[in-house]
Amino acid sequence: MNTIYDTRLIFNEIKNHYNIKNDAELSRFLGIATTTLASWYRRNTFDIHLVYAKCTDIDANWLLTGKGNIIRNSINYNNQNEHITPFSNEDVTDWKGEYFKEKEKCEQLNGKYITLLEKFVK
């Protein structure tokens, strides 16, 4: 997974979906402090488990990648021809592993960027 998502874009889409007007209201919806949300914006990261737990109709793939449909597909349990492949714990572990690898890469790049900026400013 080589996707780097934009936290601000993700949260703007969530606010639009839930008719949330501002970041203070989003913070209340998620059950976090406004300073936590501001920190997430600044670091371009967020607690994906918390957001997924609070946004019950949001598609996990969209939340992880920012791609695809924001709404979780509804499943028709009456359709016998529909084949549903459940996620295994290994799948989730793999996705989490990839997520944290990408997050680490972003943090390393941010560190290098900050170092370059500091040299430029001096």
Tens digit of each residue's pLDDT (9 = 90 or more) over 45-83: 899 889 988 988 888 888 877 777 888 875 544 555 555
Tens digit of each residue's pLDDT (9 = 90 or more) over 88-112: 777 777 788 888 888 888 889 888 8
Give the global pTM. 0.55
CB 52 within 8 A of CB 63: yes
Structure tokens given for 85: 């492949």
Reference 54, options 26, 83, 92; nearest CA is 26
CB 102 within 8 A of CB 94: no
Q: How far is CA 20 from CA 49, 75, 92, in A?
A: 20, 27, 29
| CATH of range 1-72; options 1.10.260, 2.60.60, 1.10.4160, 3.30.2020 | 1.10.260
